Structure 1
Amino acid sequence: MATSNHSSGAEFILAGLTQRPELQLPLFLLFLGIYVVTVVGNLGMIFLIALSSQLYSPVYYFLSHLSFIDLCYSSVITPKMLVNFVPEENIISFLECITQLYFFLIFVTAEGYLLTAMEYDHYVAICRPLLYNIVMSHRVCSIMMAVVYSLGFLGATVHTTRMSVLSFCRSHTVSHYFCDILPLLTLSCSSTHINEILLFIIGGVNTLATTLAVLISYAFIFSSILGIHSTEGQSKAFGTCSSHLLAVGIFFGSITFMYFKPPSSTTMEKEKVSSVFYITIIPVLNPLIYSLRNKDVKNALKKMTGGRQSS
């Protein structure tokens, strides 16, 4: 490979998820099945929310964007990961590698801020129910989503721009199943000090800001829930919040484990396992956590299915 990434012929080889031949086919079938369910589940949620008038509310507006983001960042990584299970060298050009990294960072960053926006929606619904329609107006929700995507684009642009000026001459094998920041930094023969600082600052701000916002919101939410006199009301509110808290915990937990360490202290085998959670597991779980347990979604699905059957 050329000693600089500026060469149009620069190429990398993705090492893949595992090098054990006996696991290639079972893992291929497993992740293919997960990806199919991810695509069907998230596309189904997007269309169901778009076509059901009873789901025209802020919470489902955010859910449709969550499904879109999950579908996108899973599609950026998973198809290429499936190719990794073919027993041949999985070559990817530098331009393709940087493009994959760019779109992955956009959607994974956007998801973190979207989960925070959804938590704010929960907070207003439980703690300020009389002001809900005013505070969570369509205009406010649109502005929040614009901010979510803008922060994703900003972070991804900073990281990939800085990555594009590095030279890669140590090796051409990426010890991962996709082009991620840390595996690429370990291959660079240029100084990666600025990249590591940017990763720590941007990643720290993204993670800490969203985590603190969620924790503060939950403090107010739980305080309000405990003030509900109805046991049934408390149970319903706790059920809704626990589902969201579970998704937030898995997402930010795996992200923190993956990125908040210097490259020299990372173990790529452990990081591959961690990355599987937020790349393949979370996108398939979110429709189940947020949607299939929701009575409104179930009723909308039954109504749409019944209408089609009767027609």
Structure 2
Amino acid sequence: MMKIRELEAFDAYIRLGGMRSAADELGLSQPMISRLLIALETRVGFALFFRKRNKLIPTPEAFQFHQTVVRGLESIRSLSEEARAIANNQRGHLVIAAQPIFCDTFLIDAIAEFQTTHPHVSVRLRDTGMSEIMRMVSERSCDMALGITLDADPYGADVTSLAICEARCLMPRNHPLSGLKEVTLQQLKRETFVDLAPGSPLRMRIDYMMQHIEVERSIVAETRTLHGIVRLVEMGVGLAIVDPVACLLLDDEKVVHCPLLPAIRWDIAQFVPSDRPLSGIGKAFSDVVARRVEILKTEGVID
């Protein structure tokens, strides 16, 4: 049976790339790290390292195995944190999965508000894409998730729509189209764009609509987060079509935003594992999130 210390040594060695760095992080000697790695290699039954001039070089199988080890150690750490919470008389622990733009905006305010009435409840906010969010819901590794799609039946989730979003077009304030109250997709035909990486629900929706009207977009930069998209537009790199919540991050002196025609709409949705209803503290946090979403509605950010 593999031991936790062996897995921690393996994780540290793969992440940090050296015996000394792994030893420093774990507070162990380099010979001890070496012994732990050799012991783990014996237990797993396949080669984790090539030996070259007294240096261990990870095999392709080691990198593949490392992905599983990371998830396993994270689960173990979650158990340890939960045990510490009980020992310290904390009343609970929540894991919330959400898309990065929500984590950068209204969920920060929600956590701050929640902590004023639940100071002994710890909240772990996981910012990630929709595919990982749905995996976490499916595997029951989060209490609640927030995303932008309602297609959750295959993942065993109960879904609540919190608001309707309508995509916005961002452009530098000095752009020729910046004076328009709304812009059509055809008007964007010759523009350059900055965009989310392929695979995001919004990116796929925009690509489909552009292909439908035979508009081939020129994408000059891609990033994983809308925070990066906003900054690139502010620097004049290109235009962007974004979630309206991203407008909360704008520098209004540098960037303007306007609706699109035809409109691109979706829901901000709350996902909860269908066979694991929210606990009392989970419901309390959900109520705070709902109030924060209502504030965005009153401010005209979303509908």
What TM-score does the superposition give when structure 2 sets the normalisation length? 0.23
Which structure carries more strand by proportion?
2
Larger Rg: 2
For CA contacts below 8 A with separation 6 or more, give which structure has more relative contact order: 1
More helix by share: 1
